Chains A and B, each alone.
Chain A
Amino acid sequence: MNIVETEDLKKFFSSKKGTVKAVNGVSINVREGETLGIVGESGCGKTTLGKTILKLLQPTGGKIYFNGEDITNCNEKERRKLTKKMNIVFQDPAASLNPQMTVYDHLRRPLEIHNVVDSEDDKIRRIIDILNVMGLKAEHMIRFPHELSGGQKQRVCIARAMCLEPDFLVLDEPTSALDVSVQSKILKLLERAKNKFDVSYMFISHNINLVRSISDRLGVMYLGKLVELGQADEIFENPEHPYTKALFKSVPQPDPDQKIKAQLTGQVPSPVNPPKGCAFAPRCSLSESVCERDNPDLIAAYGRKIACHRFK
């Protein structure tokens, strides 16, 4: 059963130089209870995809389904209702908390806005409960963001997203602003919260080792499009798309015996005037004339979906 599904989702931005095709026809689904990892280089549209799915950005084209219901054209009032069921955690916890509000205020608002508590006692009890799940204590309620460490701030952000017990959460680089020892704690906590609240995650990150450790399925994005989608362990074991292969090979491993083997040459082309055919063709060592001419579709191959002319 799919919690979230998109069909040919598009989000374009207009700029002085032309139309930026940030998300350019992405069909993806998140199943109930799973973690879908999304990886790709900066500017590939992974954050825009997450925001568009949550309707924080109005899509330019395509469809979004949430629990089977078409939410593509829902109005602002309906969208607000949806925030109870789907939410987001951003990269920089310091920037997503209001410096003038205490932790209590941050957690109180969603509960009040969505009318899920009957009394003041009930509200406080629920806030303490969620803080405990996040590894914080009741005493943290009266703290301001500047009195918390980076890891604690991110715990508050996750608590805020989680306190309405949503079905779906977008985690947009939730640990990139944190130290490694804190990062591993947040990951464990996310895993625990997922089992407790029965929530599905879309985990967006450019840290490939990290995504590998937490994802059930994986989507690889390049210049606004999905190039490979399937079971995470299978893709990590045997990446098939030339981009996925090259990307994984560029990742340094915490082991001095394993050095980076190959590397991607050049850089991601501009999304304003993307190449006519396959966007990866200019950097691809296997590219042929057909790659420069036609854009490959995402098709089923090797038990997953791949967008490459070599798999037809």
Chain B
Amino acid sequence: MCTKVNKGEPILKIEDLELDFLTEEGTVKALDGINITVKQGEIHGLIGETGCGKSVTSLATLGLLSQNARIRNGKIYYKGKDLLKMKKDKIRKEIRGNEISMIFQDPGSSLNPAYTSGNQVMESVVLYQTDNKNESKRIVLDELDRVKLPDPEDVFDKYPHHLSGGMKQRVMIAMMLACKSELLIADEPTTALDVSIQAQFLKVLDELQEEYDLSLLYITHDMAVVSEICDIVTVMYAGQIAETADVNELFKDPKHPYTIGLIHSVPGIETSIEGFKTIPGTVPRLINPPSGCRFNPRCEYAEEKCKNEKPQLEEVSEDHEVACHFWREIE
């Protein structure tokens, strides 16, 4: 068992992670120097568009990468231990489920349709807590109650197809709580849910985080959800980190041109269709990514330097870093 980490100390630290996928068409340079630090007790948002590498980052952390992935460089520290140096078997036994858990986008395909939901949560209890039958059932009912599922006794005996999307997603969290994990990676957990159910889910997640002092890496493409629950946000673009900042600062004073574009292209309560700004161009293919800053072909401020040199993360203020050569000059 790993030791406990104090609040505010880094629990997960990803350093200069570079990762390729070997495909028939060529090498996909999926991650190009990723730096993310998740501190104990914070909700860390990871935001970016499809294919920017946000899910790959989380899979690398859990040792769940596909066969054709090659890690070229970098370190992933969990409570000071380098996960990339650990044996697969050891990660499975000691880290995955035990220390770090993950919930996926589609709760429908994450649960086994052939077992009742109670049974599936029970599996984590038996694995990690106790194998006494009565005792474990009581724990499961407790966990189901904790995620605010109405009538846990009833839900215990239900199969996934009896439950709605929001309820399934809560069973997934109950499973994670039963593992007593300290770090939760949530990959787009509300994308498949309706707004009203999403609001309920976010509230439950927020309360649980506070109650158990969980650390969360929350992956999403939804700026509104990020502003709702995250403390710190990291913006990714095409396998690079664009910006990391406190959520209030990110929305009030974004520095990276991509972050600015992203914030302006989200419809808010007061934007009309004319008020929309769009980011020109499209996300590059990562088989042959642009040199230097990967955002440079779409950036209105790009100069020669952006094509030649990859910008490093620079400190803007405490809790705010940006990877842009010209962030000081951008209004």
A184 to B278, CA, bound (A): 6
Docked-complex contact A41 and B195, CB < 8 angstroms: yes
Residues of A within 8 A of B327 (CB): none
A260 to B227, CA, bound (A): 10
Is A18 in contact with chain B by the CB < 8 A criterion?
no
Docked-complex contact A209 and B269, CB < 8 angstroms: yes
Q: How far is the CB of A52 from chain B (nearest CB, A)?
A: 22
Docked-complex contact A263 and B199, CB < 8 angstroms: yes
A208 to B111, CA, bound (A): 29
Residues of B within 8 A of A208 (CB): 195
Docked-complex contact B194 and A41, CB < 8 angstroms: yes
Q: How far is the CB of B155 from chain A (nearest CB, A)?
A: 13
Q: How far is the CB of B272 from chain A (nearest CB, A)?
A: 6
Is B197 in contact with chain A by the CB < 8 A criterion?
yes
Docked-complex contact A256 and B279, CB < 8 angstroms: no
Chain A: CB-nearest residue to B276: A184
Is A121 in contact with chain B by the CB < 8 A criterion?
no
Is A254 in contact with chain B by the CB < 8 A criterion?
yes
Docked-complex contact A181 and B227, CB < 8 angstroms: no
Residues of B within 8 A of A259 (CB): 228
**Interface positions of A from 188 to 246, Cβ below 8 Å from B:** 188, 191, 206-210, 212-214, 236, 246
Docked-complex contact A212 and B195, CB < 8 angstroms: no
A185 to B222, CA, bound (A): 17
Is A182 in contact with chain B by the CB < 8 A criterion?
yes
Is A271 in contact with chain B by the CB < 8 A criterion?
no
Residues of A within 8 A of B224 (CB): 209, 251-254
Give per-residue flags for B158-182: 1 if the beta carbon is below 8 A from chain A beta carbons, else 0: 0000001010000000000000000
Docked-complex contact A264 and B196, CB < 8 angstroms: yes
Give per-residue flags for B223-263: 1 if the beta carbon is below 8 A from chain A beta carbons, else 0: 11111100000000000000000011001000000000111
Which of A180, A255, A265, A266 interacts with B262 by CB under 8 Å?
A: A180
Is B266 in contact with chain A by the CB < 8 A criterion?
yes
Residues of A within 8 A of B203 (CB): 260, 263
Docked-complex contact A256 and B267, CB < 8 angstroms: no
Residues of B within 8 A of A252 (CB): 195, 198-199, 202, 222, 224-225, 227-228
Is B200 in contact with chain A by the CB < 8 A criterion?
yes
Docked-complex contact B247 and A188, CB < 8 angstroms: no
Chain B: CB-nearest residue to A213: B267
Give per-residue flags for B278-291: 1 if the beta carbon is below 8 A from chain A beta carbons, else 0: 11001100000000
Q: How far is the CB of B271 from chain A (nearest CB, A)?
A: 6
Docked-complex contact B195 and A179, CB < 8 angstroms: no
Docked-complex contact A187 and B273, CB < 8 angstroms: yes
Docked-complex contact A267 and B227, CB < 8 angstroms: no
Chain A: CB-nearest residue to B263: A254
Q: How far is the CB of B265 from chain A (nearest CB, A)?
A: 4
Is B50 in contact with chain A by the CB < 8 A criterion?
yes
Is B268 in contact with chain A by the CB < 8 A criterion?
yes
A251 to B251, CA, bound (A): 18
From known contacts A151-B282, A209-B269, infer whether A256 and B276 are also in contact, taking CB-CB under 8 Å: no
A42 to B192, CA, bound (A): 10
Is A183 in contact with chain B by the CB < 8 A criterion?
yes
Docked-complex contact A41 and B279, CB < 8 angstroms: no
From known contacts A151-B282, A185-B278, A251-B224, infer whether A179 and B49 are also in contact, taking CB-CB under 8 Å: yes
Is B307 in contact with chain A by the CB < 8 A criterion?
no
Docked-complex contact B273 and A214, CB < 8 angstroms: yes
Docked-complex contact B196 and A180, CB < 8 angstroms: no
From known contacts A179-B49, A252-B225, infer whether A188 and B166 are also in contact, taking CB-CB under 8 Å: no
Residues of A within 8 A of B70 (CB): none
Residues of A within 8 A of B265 (CB): 180-181, 183-184
Docked-complex contact B199 and A250, CB < 8 angstroms: yes
Is B221 in contact with chain A by the CB < 8 A criterion?
yes
Is A299 in contact with chain B by the CB < 8 A criterion?
no
Docked-complex contact B195 and A180, CB < 8 angstroms: no
Is A71 in contact with chain B by the CB < 8 A criterion?
no
Residues of B within 8 A of A191 (CB): 273
Which of A41, A150, A184, A207 interacts with B196 by CB under 8 Å?
A: A41
Which of B200, B221, B267 interacts with A263 by CB under 8 Å?
A: B200
Docked-complex contact A42 and B228, CB < 8 angstroms: no
Q: How far is the CB of B102 from chain A (nearest CB, A)?
A: 22
What is the interface of chain B, defined by CB distance below 8 A to chain A? Answer: 49-50, 150, 164, 166, 194-200, 202-203, 221-228, 247-248, 251, 261-263, 265-269, 271-273, 275-279, 282-283
A-B complex: 4 closest residue pairs judged by Cβ atoms: A250-B199, A252-B224, A264-B196, A184-B265
What is the interface of chain A, defined by CB distance below 8 A to chain B? Answer: 41-42, 149-151, 179-185, 187-188, 191, 206-210, 212-214, 236, 246-247, 250-260, 263-267
